[in-house]
Chain A
């Protein structure tokens, strides 16, 4: 049964389904209860599942992730909400040195099925610390799975997959796309949904591959649509750790050209990693060097300048032009 949902509502429905199907699933964070979160993504959950399962925490991010670790050690499956990307940083120690490593440290005796949901990325005219793209930090840390969504359909299913995963999952929500609406097929089994670590061809094409994830997928699709001269394929990466290189390299072997797009700063970003890997694996198939269209190596700017910072249609098309210049 299909329903039209926004990404925000789809995550809410997915959270609800996850909590319905397993009483060990908990939601915890700042303002997630009566308020329903600052983006209302947890709206109504505390009313239906109680304050013991939808926990309003003190204002302390390390405390949220650290106690979630303890709850997981006791057999619970906590979902942490961090209010904004820039507020995640107080929780880095618990996430990087504890959450990511405890399974390995215990030689498999401990499982850490914790999900950390983070609204991320720019484009909403916010003040400092509310528009960051920290995905490379997470993707660089062994022990974490890092996913992001671009459609309501993926939002609904992938949040449930993240919750049922026995690994810690960083679930990045593209906040400027929370209100994008489309059909979601909410019927069917979770096991039948596309696995969350698989990339998806969002638009088939033959002349070049545009690779994006999260908030940039929509922009990439618009760019592909706008380029009437060339037949551009768009790949939605979905999972940043591990990256589904099989889908990426299969696409590049066919098209011979790759442009990677992300909002996060260019240097040492996910795009650089993909460029290196594709060069190693597809060297003889490439018609041009892999090109990146990204944010700049600067702090995220004040919001009046963010339209220049964020890759837009023109910058993406300029990137596409570059891979056809060879």
Chain B
């Protein structure tokens, strides 16, 4: 029985088959060194380990929530590694692999889900904006940012391209459709990277769209392509080309990475209520890490020593993620009032002063008791 999925029998760009065979694609040459191929495998394994640890930390009560990327590592690492330092990414909230590629330390992600920050990193330092929770909003931000890039004259070979990440559910949002249209009419240098993981919490793809998602781009007047989202090489090659096209002034591209969310939507979700285990089993056959491992072994690009080394690196990373999560400092209560406004605000100034005085009254009481 075949469980997945709507829209599957349309053209899919794939460079690496689920069995680990490399197939050239005439439109998307894979210009990559063996060292880079090994690095991609390392990224996939490390990103999965961060995710596994974060789920465990949530179960232990160390995180309030976690949105697992299990199954989507290839889509994120491939596209994330296609970005250059001066590009800007606009993530949703599950882009831990993209964040990894942008040099954002895992503990910064954990801070958000632990509730000690609302964001966690400097978007300009990393070329990656903060996570956005409200679905689809960031597609407009990315488009506006790309319009700014145009006005800065920052296109061309060494120029800046923008990429926005969202899921299949977000394609139903007005903001996503408005972003597609704004980007099209302005010819903005933005790549829309949709990770179609088949499920928007419990809503299957059939409840989001009657047409394959990548085909929507055509209605707005720009190209849309569908890639095998579990193929890190396809993700890399196709995203590179879309970014190049944006930089060269050719306008937006929609990439639909056809993939699967192997885990729950978040740690609050129970996917056994809405999907069958056979579906998961089927997608496990297409695991992005297994196929890369098969390819590396079969081609003699990497051997046991390399895999052992990466696994040990993942163990170290896991230990570090657990420790650093617990070590994240608790925020100061007066942080509530910080950075709401750039300029002084009499309402907040007054409330902060009152609350500081109130808090200090406990310290005074404590001091008196000690006497």
Contacts and interface: CB of A to CB of B under 8 A. Distances in A.
Contacts of B340: 103-104, 142-143
B147 A67 contact: yes
A16 interface: no
B341 interface: yes
A62 interface: yes
Given A71-B148, A105-B130, A166 B342 contact: yes
Contacts of B330: none
A71 B144 contact: yes
A197 B123 CA distance: 30
Interface stretch (A90-98, A125-133, A302-310): A90-98
A75 interface: yes
Interface string A92-118: 011001100111111111110100000
Contact of A74 (B145, B338, B339): B145
A60 B173 CA distance: 13
B149 A245 contact: no
Interface in B176-200: 178-179, 181-182, 185
Given A60-B181, A76-B151, A165 B338 contact: no
A71 B134 contact: no
Nearest to A166: B342
Given A62-B174, A107-B117, A70 B343 contact: no
Interface stretch (B20-28, B97-105, B135-143, B233-241): B135-143
A66 interface: yes
A199 B52 CA distance: 55
Contacts of A110: 123, 130
A90 B174 contact: yes
B134 A70 contact: no
Interface string A2-42: 00000000000000000000000010000000000000000
Given A57-B182, A60-B178, A63-B182, A98 B134 contact: yes
The residue among A75, A90, A110 with the most chain B CB atoms within 10 A of its own CB is A110
Contacts of A65: 140
Given A57-B182, A109-B122, A66 B338 contact: no
B124 A109 contact: yes
B143 A108 contact: no
Given A106-B123, A107-B339, A143-B340, A197 B144 contact: no
Given A63-B182, A105-B118, A143-B341, A93 B141 contact: no
Contacts of B152: 74-75
Contacts of B119: 105-107, 109
B37 to A, nearest CB: 34
A243 B349 CA distance: 12
Interface string A76-100: 1010000000000010011001100
B345 A165 contact: no
A70 B132 CA distance: 13
A162 B147 CA distance: 22
Contacts of B346: 197, 242-246
A67 B140 contact: yes
A60 B166 CA distance: 20
Interface in B255-301: none
A93 B178 contact: no
B175 interface: yes
B339 A70 contact: no
A167 B148 contact: no
Given A73-B145, A110-B123, A66 B342 contact: no
Interface residues of A, number: 50
B146 interface: yes
Nearest to A113: B342
A113 B343 CA distance: 11
A109 B124 CA distance: 8
Nearest to B349: A242
A73 B128 CA distance: 12
B341 A58 contact: no
B2 interface: no
Contact of A73 (B132, B144, B175, B343): B144
Nearest to A68: B144
B72 interface: no
Q: Which of B129, B132, B346 has the most CB of A within 10 A?
A: B346
Q: Looking at A93, A106, A111, A244, which has the most chain B CB atoms within 10 Å of its CB?
A: A106
A69 B117 CA distance: 21
A241 interface: yes
B137 A98 contact: yes
Given A62-B174, A143-B340, A93 B182 contact: no
Interface string A143-180: 10100000000000000000001110000000000000
Nearest to A108: B339
B210 interface: no
A69 B141 contact: yes
Given A107-B117, A110-B123, A93 B147 contact: no
A52 interface: yes
Interface of A: 26, 52, 57-58, 60, 62-63, 65-76, 78, 90, 93-94, 97-98, 101-111, 113, 142-143, 145, 165-167, 197, 241-246
Given A58-B185, A103-B342, A113-B342, 10 more contacts: A60-B182, A66-B143, A70-B141, A74-B144, A74-B147, A104-B338, A106-B130, A109-B124, A111-B342, A142-B340
17 contacts: A52-B151, A63-B140, A66-B179, A67-B140, A68-B144, A70-B141, A74-B145, A74-B149, A90-B174, A93-B137, A101-B118, A102-B130, A106-B122, A110-B130, A145-B341, A167-B342, A197-B346
The 10 closest A-B pairs by CB, nearest first: A70-B144, A66-B140, A74-B148, A67-B144, A166-B342, A63-B178, A70-B145, A108-B339, A70-B141, A242-B347
